[in-house]
Structures are given as C-alpha cells and as structure tokens.
Chains A and B, each alone.
Chain A
C-alpha cells in the first residue's frame, strides 16, 4: 500500500467513526446537555452537526482522490481488478473459497491486491458516494433561501446535483433521511467485517497483512 493509500485509509477511518458518532446523535440525541448555562452558550447539537459536516467534507475530498486513483494510480490501478474478466472472476471466487475453507485452499497470488478485496472496497466507496449525495441533499434543505455565504451558485449546484435522491428514495424528504441513516448501518457492518477479515488473514495466512495499513507492506514467505 502506498503512503497516499495509507493516509487516505486512516483519514477515512477517523472520518467515518466521527460521522457515525455525531450522526447517531443528530438522528436521536442520546445524551442530554447537562450544563446549567443559557442555550446560546452550549451549542451541543450545533457542534455535533458541525463536526459531522467537517467529517463528511473531508470524506468527500478523499473520495474524489480515491476515484482518481482507481484509474490513474501509478501503482495498482484498481479498476483493472473490477472488470469481470475470466481471471478476475476466478480470483474473486478463489478468495471466497479460501475464507470458507478456513485457508485449506489458497490458489491465488496473495502478494498483491486481489479481486475480492477490490470489489469489497468498491462497495464501501459506493456506499460513501450515496452518503455524499443524500447528505448534501439534507444539507441543502437548510439553504432554502437560495443564498449562502459563498454565493447563490452553491445551493443551486447542490439542488441540481442531489434533488434526484428524493425521487430515488421514495419521493419525500423523509425518505432521503431514512436512507441516509440506514446506509450508515450498512457501512458500520462493512467496517466490522473488514476488521475481522484483516485480523483473520493475518492469523491464518501468516503473511502479516495487518501491517499493510501501517508500514505499507506485508511479508510473504517464498514457496519452497
């Protein structure tokens, strides 16, 4: 994994965690503001929303970088592993067999990113893109005056870019919210399996996979 890749990984991880913690609060404030101060001073919901937005904006930026790297990375161009060629499909299922046979069968090259991994990450990226569009739609609902501190073009752009999510989710503003919230649960589940799988690989493959995300490389014993 390149240095850029590792930086993106940890930025994404932190942002997703932040967005989940603050997002759960926004959806249903789960702690009370126990500060005996007037309302103007504490701003608890406002801070949660601010942090949620900042996390989301950083995620949006890394997503654009990731989209770029899919095609133009100088190293492993991920899109090549997404095309369902015979080789990729075979590799994809071999990795799944490996997982299901508890490493009894391992018939693919584990020194580089495999097809299954790329597909699994593509799912996360699609979920995040969906969060981007639905999230910006929820955000623009608060800019109903058509004005913003950076100009009228911003809400107009957001409307043009995200109004389709209303129709896509079921036709009401509430559907967009429900979808944004449910997708969060899919992402959390994604993360849980992701962590498990990395640990499992590390233990069973004995190739030090967990180190990839810290040091950038792993250790593969040469076949005798």
Chain B
C-alpha cells in the first residue's frame, strides 16, 4: 500500500508532459507478470455488475470475436503497451464487471453519460462501459429519492475503499455550495463529494466541468464552480477532460486500472498521458493545408469545400492536447475538425473563456488586465501603439513650437 502511495506521489509530482512510448523490454515483462497475477485474482472474484459474459453480449449486439480482437489491438496500442499484452487486455475487458463504480453528477448536462449510452448502435467501448459494475448512477438507475439514497449508502458500505468514484460536472462552492444539492435531504454537492471521495479507491473526473470547472466555471462564474482536483485532496484523481470525454479514454482508464491496479501515468493537469500527450494540431489531417497557408476564410467557401485548414475560423488545435485527431469519436468514424469546424480546445482549463471563439487568438476578445470593456488582443496592442503615437505627436509638435534652444543659449 505504501508502495502504491509512493508511486502515486511520484506521478503527481511529475511536471513534464513528455510521453514515453517505450520503456524497455524488462519493464514490460515485469509489468506483464504483475498484470497477469492481478487478472487471476479478479477472475476468482465474483462479478458485481452484469452477470452475462462479455462475449455473449457482444455477439448479441452483432460483434464477432474478430471485431473484439481488432478493438483489443487498438486499445492496447492506445494504452502504449506492446503487442504481447493483447490477450491480457482482452481478459481485462472481460473482468471490467469486477470493479465497482459509483457515478455521481453535479453541475453538468449529463453529456458524458449521453456520450456513452446514446451512440447510434452501441460501439464496443460503449458496451464495455455498460457492463462495468455501476453501483449507482442517477441518470441510469430506476430508483429515486430515498430508495436511491439507500442504494448509494449500500454501495458505499459494501465497497468501502474499493470503488472508483466517477464524477461528472462541476462543484459550486459559492455561499457554502447551496447552488447545487442532491438527494431528499438536500445535501450539497460538495458535502456529498467529500464524503464519497473519502471511501473511494480513486476518483475519475469525467468531462471538462468535473476536471477544470468547464462551462459552469466560465466567467463570471456566479456559483463559484470548481473542478474536482481543486476541492479534493489526498486521493488519487484522474482527469479525463473534453466535452464530452471520449468513451474510449474512459474505457482506457478503467482498463488500465483493472489491468494494473494503478492509475495511468498523468501529466501536470492529472490527465492520462496515453490520451492527452498528443497535440490535436500535430495529428490533424488538415495540417498540410496549415503549413501551406491554405485557410478556410468563411464558412462554406471554396477552401471549406477543399478541406483547408480551419485556423482562421478559430481552430485551437495548435494549443490543445487531446487524442481526438488520432482515435476520433464513435469508433474512429469522425471528429470535429474532420467535419469542418475548428477545435475549441474543450480539454484545456478555462476553455470557454480562452479558447472557444471562432477566430484566431489575435482577434479574440479578452478582458483587459485591469478589467473593463472586452478588447481583442490586437485592438489592445494597437491601443498601446496609438497611445505611444499620440504622445510622440504631442511632443514633436510642442518641440517644433518651442524651437531649437539649448541650455547654453538659454543662459546667454
């Protein structure tokens, strides 16, 4: 246990967002043995979640074993594990129902939940998320009110210290958190989160609201909304931002946990590096047009028809770290830039205030440092320049008027 705490600490103090794709054979061999042991342990446990076997559910949904193996290779690669881990990853996917999950929703739109239950024909990622042992999920479960409350207490008692706590949505802190209450007793979000977090094995913050505050925390943030990592201390926290968080990344994090019993390696914003170690811009299919200086100038123009780069329409791919441009959404069908709209940087902190506008940063309206009226960055800059110019003009005019005189002449 102390080992694990140490490992977690190391991860948390790591600031560098460098991605290590190859750690050498020895490391992976050892990891393999550890993972194998863990899977065996899990196998001997009874499943809490769906009793049906994954293979049966998959074939009911029309997926062949071959489809599943294809998914397995892709997921193994995504987790940056070598090829010989594939059978283990497949087994881990089948063991997903051994990990109890409590899912709570705070200031949110349930978009992350929607993302994995509402796809057109469930994808393998979604099915796997369906079979996890969801012990409590307000949106998906039948009971309500006192009944629901009892179920939550049961789950919390039974799986004390073992469950993964998934949090969706921001936590309002203003005026003691009265902007968000839950349950028949009117418990505030922050109260519930603090007590649930205390008994959790780890916390997974899904979506940008739960990670960085997201839209509820956008200026002027009337409810004092914050992300989980700003209000909870002393627990391992994994952030999976984006709006919505990609189901593939949620599965990746849970799989990693099932497989190794540990949380994946995180960057300085507590995002798993396997997913957020990539910049959108560097893996974008329109990148050649960016380098060529071919930009869409207007929605629907010739450039748009030719899939030119969306930078001038405000694409924030160059300053956004996420793997959308690699794994895309809905089993790699498409992603935002693929269908013709720029990235709005939804997986970065403060994205609503600082990224989400349909023009390049130079034209962006930002608050002047001293507050006051919003000015675009270039307007602000031109303002500085104009002030300099006016100052100079006045001085030059006054100089001309005063004429050339020096100290010496003055005295004489």
Contacts and interface: CB of A to CB of B under 8 A. Distances in A.
B40 interface: no
A159 B17 contact: yes
Contact of A184 (B381, B395, B408): B381
B38 interface: no
A196 interface: yes
Contacts of B45: none
Interface stretch (A40-48, A52-60, A84-92, A119-127): A40-48
Interface in B289-314: 289-295, 297, 311-312
Nearest to A45: B293
Interface string A151-185: 01001100110010000001111110110011011
Contacts of B377: 178, 181-182
A193 B392 contact: yes
Most buried by B among A27, A103, A152, A174: A174
A33 B392 contact: no
B65 interface: no
Interface residues of B, number: 65
B277 interface: yes
Interface string B325-345: 000000000000000000001
A103 B406 contact: yes
A104 B292 contact: no
B136 to A, nearest CB: 33
B384 A178 contact: no
Contacts of B398: 102
Contacts of B289: 39
B5 interface: no
B378 interface: yes
Contacts of A146: 18-20
Sorting the interface of chain A by its residue count into under 10, 10 to 19, 20 to 34 or 35 or more gives 35 or more
Given A144-B282, A181-B377, A45 B363 contact: no
Nearest to A205: B406
Contact of B381 (A104, A156, A173, A181): A181
A189 B388 contact: yes
A155 B318 CA distance: 17
B290 A204 contact: no
A173 B348 contact: yes
B215 interface: no
B288 A172 contact: no
A33 B294 contact: yes
Contact of A46 (B21, B291, B361, B404): B291
Given A146-B19, A174-B345, A40 B380 contact: no
A159 B16 contact: yes
B243 interface: no
Contacts, number: 164
B123 interface: no
B396 A107 contact: no
A95 to B, nearest CB: 13
A171 B350 contact: yes
B350 A156 contact: no
Nearest to B290: A45
A32 interface: yes
Interface in B389-412: 389, 391-392, 395-396, 398-399, 402, 404-408, 410
A186 B377 CA distance: 12
B385 to A, nearest CB: 5
B402 A104 contact: yes
B404 A200 contact: no
Interface in B346-386: 348-351, 354-355, 360-364, 366, 377-378, 380-382, 384-385
A32 B297 contact: yes
Given A43-B291, A45-B293, A107-B407, A174 B18 contact: no
B15 interface: yes
A102 B349 CA distance: 51
A170 B212 CA distance: 14
Given A106-B406, A174-B354, A27 B362 contact: yes
Contacts of A184: 381
A159 B14 CA distance: 12
A185 B380 contact: yes
Contacts of B366: 178
A177 B378 CA distance: 12
A28 interface: yes
Nearest to B291: A46
Nearest to A146: B18
B390 to A, nearest CB: 11
A45 B292 contact: yes
A145 B381 CA distance: 34
B116 interface: no
B277 A144 contact: yes
A4 interface: no
A111 interface: no
Given A142-B282, A186-B384, A159 B18 contact: yes
B278 interface: yes
B103 interface: no
B74 interface: no
A223 interface: yes
B226 interface: no
A172 B348 contact: yes
Given A178-B377, A203-B404, A43 B362 contact: no
A192 interface: yes
Across chains A and B, which 3 residue pairs bring their CB atoms closest together, nearest first?
A185-B381, A44-B293, A146-B18
Given A41-B292, A171-B349, 13 more contacts: A24-B362, A27-B361, A28-B363, A39-B289, A39-B294, A144-B279, A159-B16, A159-B17, A172-B350, A173-B319, A173-B320, A175-B354, A178-B361
9 contacts: A39-B294, A106-B406, A172-B350, A174-B319, A178-B366, A182-B381, A193-B392, A200-B395, A223-B408
